[in-house]
């Protein structure tokens, strides 16, 4: 009956019927909200410089990043475009990839900084689609857990583990209050070392929904969880994250049809993608509302998987956190949002069915508590799960770079070593396109043209002192 109504209403010329179709027909409603997100970018000229994030804010023209030219000479170039690795030299100017030279070529300025990477593999910076930078560590006291300075310092510590693992971009899909945005700002200004941060802000969920069970850090200002109720409440929650600086919106079950529809529509009208942590029938409800991505390998029907494939809904399976949960704790207990049979095998089967359906999938780790200290192990394990699904090793490496960048909505700026893209580069002392374990052999990491990891560890150049003001020779007042 619903399909028949949609078909009839969509072909009538009556405004009332068309409006009713929008409200009732999930497919049309989803198409409309996705079109709203794309419509926003149509009004930019290709010559208009915009910020290097998903918000695409106009910025002044001019060079960005460090001055000068950086040359990675003589390595194996795996550019992320699906081409096989080849010998060559990567040239970076400022914060952009300038060109890839054939072996033997020395076509770069005389004053360029040249680093010999013979025998190593140069790849695009790795991306992690699912992180929580400010989450507390085990056995911390409530006072420490709820402290915003502590949360910020926890995030700063995690940034080191990610960047030293060759991960040059992370998507933070729930952290305390303003913490991820302040960390993002400091990284962007090159004031602290870390990967690019694409932040969702607070995780929006229904009262008592996933993340809010037991009232965990759901303070409306400083918490990582944002309770919302009713369509207007969900719209407001989206707007609040956007106002704080969100690059993506994350929502989670439970929610009504009206609530998820309002949240997705609002986010798309603001130009942001929406990802959803949900399970069972909530996944179908979110996909029908036009959500862009589903997190986790939680149960869903074959019908929902077909719908995801039909609508181009992406997936971030995050198999590794559940492997850790089952290995460390034996199960996922005492939560109302996980009321289903849960196992590592069942999770892998969901991912297998999604691959079989042709759904675009990316790599994220969701390392809560102190699991970030295992890096790069969990990231490599997640990559190996993709290989187990049937992807080749080069395909897995391209998923971790090119596909992940596309899922971030940053495919035009990140993910491959194409000229003109941002200079986020990882150099591996091995052949990661042949052996995923070699990902652990990170030698050099470049983010936005700056060397951030050298010889496998954080690299911070000595600060350049600012000259002190000198007194005026005539009046004695300080002269800047």
Q: Which of 303, 298, 376, 378 is nearest to 335 (CA)?
A: 298
- pTM across the whole model: 0.92
- The answer to whether 171 and 248 have CB atoms below 8 angstroms apart is yes
Q: How far apart are CA 39 and CA 268, in angstroms?
A: 10
Q: Which CATH architecture does the domain made up of 126-454 adopt?
A: Alpha-Beta Barrel (3.20)
Low-confidence ranges of the chain (pLDDT < 50): 1-24
What φ, ψ does residue 116 adopt, rounded to 5°?
-80, 120
Residue 134 gets the label, from left (phi > 0), alpha (psi -120 to 50) or beta, of: alpha
Sign (positive/negative) of CA torsion 435, 436, 442, 444?
A: positive
Write down the pLDDT at residue 309. 98
Percent over 90 (pLDDT), the chain: 78
Query: b/e string for 167-179 if b means 16 or more Cβ within 10 A?
Result: bbbbbbbbbbbbb
Give the whole-angstrom CA distance, residue 224 versus residue 20: 36
**pLDDT of the residue at 476:** 73
What is the model's pLDDT at position 456?
97
List the domain boundaries for the chain.
2-35, 126-454
| pLDDT score recorded for residue 11 | 44
Predicted confidence at residue 138, as pLDDT, reads 86
- Provide the pLDDT for residue 22: 45
Mean pLDDT of the chain: 91
pLDDT of residue 29: 58
pLDDT of residue 31: 65
């Amino acid at each position: 009956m619903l399909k028949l109504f949609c078909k009839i209403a969509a072909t009538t010329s009556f405004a009332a019927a068309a409006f009713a179709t929008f409200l009732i027909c999930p497919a049309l409603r989803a198409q409309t909200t996705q079109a709203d997100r794309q419509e926003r970018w149509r009004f930019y000229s290709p010559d208009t410089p915009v910020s290097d994030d998903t918000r695409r804010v106009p910025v002044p023209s001019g060079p960005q990043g460090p001055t000068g030219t950086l040359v990675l000479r003589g390595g194996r170039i795996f550019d992320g475009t699906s081409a096989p690795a080849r010998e060559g030299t990567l040239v970076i100017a400022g914060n952009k990839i300038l060109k890839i030279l054939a072996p033997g070529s020395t076509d770069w300025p005389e004053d360029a900084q040249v680093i010999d990477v013979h025998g190593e593999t140069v790849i695009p910076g790795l991306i992690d689609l699912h992180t929580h930078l400010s989450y507390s560590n085990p056995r911390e006291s409530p006072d420490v857990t709820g402290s915003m300075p502590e949360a910020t310092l926890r995030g700063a510590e995690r940034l080191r583990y990610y960047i030293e693992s060759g991960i040059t971009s992370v998507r933070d899909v729930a952290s305390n209050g303003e913490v991820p945005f302040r960390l993002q700002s400091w990284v962007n200004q090159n004031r602290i070392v870390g990967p690019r941060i694409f932040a969702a802000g607070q995780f929006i969920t229904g009262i008592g929904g996933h993340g809010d069970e037991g009232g965990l850090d759901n303070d409306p200002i400083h918490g990582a969880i944002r309770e919302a109720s009713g369509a207007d409440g969900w719209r407001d929650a989206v707007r609040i994250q956007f106002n704080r600086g969100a690059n993506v919106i994350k929502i989670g079950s439970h929610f009504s049809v009206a609530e998820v529809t309002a949240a997705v529509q609002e986010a798309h009208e603001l130009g942001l993608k929406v990802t959803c942590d949900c399970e069972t029938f909530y996944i179908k409800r979110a996909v029908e509302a036009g959500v862009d991505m589903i997190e986790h390998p939680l149960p869903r029907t074959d019908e929902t998987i077909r719908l995801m494939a039909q609508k181009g809904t992406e997936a971030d399976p995050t198999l590794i956190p559940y492997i850790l949960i089952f290995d460390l704790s034996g199960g996922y207990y005492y939560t109302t949002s996980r009321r289903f049979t849960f196992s590592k095998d069942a999770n892998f089967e969901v991912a297998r069915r999604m691959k079989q359906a042709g759904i675009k999938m990316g790599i994220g780790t969701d390392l809560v508590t102190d699991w970030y200290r295992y890096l790069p192990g969990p990231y490599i394990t997640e990559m190996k799960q993709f290989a187990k699904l049937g992807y080749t090793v080069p395909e897995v490496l391209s998923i971790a770079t090119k596909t992940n960048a596309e899922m971030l909505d940053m495919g035009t700026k990140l993910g491959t070593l194409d000229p003109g893209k941002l200079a986020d580069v990882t150099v591996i002392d091995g052949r990661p396109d042949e052996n995923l374990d070699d990902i652990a052999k990170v030698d050099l990491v470049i983010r936005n043209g700056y060397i951030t990891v050298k010889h496998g560890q954080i690299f911070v150049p000595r600060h350049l002192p600012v000259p002190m003001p000198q007194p005026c020779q005539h009046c004695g007042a300080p002269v800047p």
